[in-house]
Copies of this chain bind each other. A is one copy, B any other.
Amino acid sequence: MALTTKDIALLAGVSQSTVSRSLNNSPLISQKTRERILKIAREQEFEFNANARGLSTNRADTIGIIYPDDYLEFGVNLYFGSLHTHLRQTLEKRDIDLIVAFSKNRWTGADNVKRLVVRRKVDGLILVRSLVDPETLEFLRRTGIPFVFLHFHQDSPNTEGIDQVYADHVKGGFLGTDHLIRLGHQKIVCISVDEAEEFAQRRRGYRTALEKHGIPYDETLMLYGDRSFQSGYRIVKQHCDLISKATALFAHTDVMALGALDALREMNLRVPEDIALVGYDDIELTTFFHPHLTTVHQPREEIAVLACERLLELAGSKRIKRGKEIKIQPSLVVRESCGARA
């Protein structure tokens, strides 16, 4: 059915190896022959059989991306969806395919990781916000497959020597808080998330900003949601007393901020006049709402591109020293909800 190098060889009157070498730009082949064969291959719309190629080279020209299960939830994927888009575009440019998988076990991703790697379906892995258990980590190291952790910084003894591309969430938490304080706010309620490390880092940034301005940290102002729009809404409703006494609200995801906005509106609290609001992520959705959300921008395109580049660099040569950590700086996008414009 599909053409093989042998077929091309027959058409060109050369051997199969010559075809293979020509198409792979081997320096052994003379310019003339190469061009002739390239021409024929193009005419015949020849494509290598990826399986055969992979079998002999032990490559797949494909990388895998492992998302945590909750990527599937609406709201969460408002953030990751755009990250994914950028990853995909970057890879497409390089003629590399992308296999998408989810870790059934939210924290390990062990299942799909092993499967994809051992079956040689991928040359490398991008692990998105996956806390990998020591066993899987050991497995990855043993196989020597390149992998890059994406999205937040993991800093434990056994993540030593691991490549990471991550946004500086401490900085982001600081930026949002510092901005509010500079606008005169002293009592800033936080809506954070309890379960994932990146939020702990954002909280750390929040505290750092308070300290800088000599504002004591008040634990009662720290509330916890689950990332969802609904939880943002619910928390504001549940703590309406607390919140009506506060002058600012810093939600650690935009989606929760939008939920909070909804609740504030129902409570007849005007944003930003009665209470200022700052979100985190800068998802595209923010400008669909009023007032437009001031938020901490995560440079998703940059994160995606750098992660791909690093992964391909690792995949390209075994000599490269592992363990590069690329930290991306978030920035504050001032829109309407913080009141800075007024």
Contacts and interface: CB of A to CB of B under 8 A. Distances in A.
Contacts of A72: 85, 88-89
Given A55-B55, A285-B285, A47 B118 contact: yes
A116 B98 CA distance: 11
A158 interface: no
Nearest to A97: B99
A98 B74 CA distance: 20
A174 interface: no
A119 interface: yes
A25 interface: no
Interface string A52-63: 111100001010
A258 interface: yes
B119 A102 contact: no
17 contacts: A1-B143, A2-B143, A45-B114, A48-B119, A50-B119, A51-B55, A51-B60, A62-B121, A74-B284, A77-B81, A77-B85, A81-B81, A97-B99, A98-B99, A259-B288, A262-B288, A285-B285
Given A51-B55, A100-B100, 19 more contacts: A2-B118, A2-B120, A47-B114, A49-B55, A49-B119, A50-B121, A51-B53, A51-B54, A52-B55, A55-B55, A62-B99, A72-B85, A74-B82, A74-B284, A74-B285, A88-B102, A258-B288, A259-B288, A262-B290
Interface residues of A, number: 48
A166 B124 CA distance: 36
| Copies of this chain present | 2
Contacts of A85: 72, 77
Interface in A103-162: 114-116, 118-121, 143-144
Closest 9 CB pairs of A and B: A51-B54, A74-B284, A47-B118, A50-B119, A51-B55, A51-B51, A50-B121, A47-B119, A72-B85
A187 to B, nearest CB: 27
Nearest to A261: B288
Contacts of A23: none
Nearest to A55: B51
A273 interface: no
Interface in A229-277: 229, 258-259, 262, 265
A92 interface: yes
Given A82-B74, A258-B288, A121 B97 contact: yes
A83 to B, nearest CB: 12
A328 to B, nearest CB: 21
Nearest to A119: B50
A92 B98 CA distance: 15
Contacts of A200: none
> Which of A74, A81, A119 has the most chain B CB atoms inside 10 A of its CB?
A119
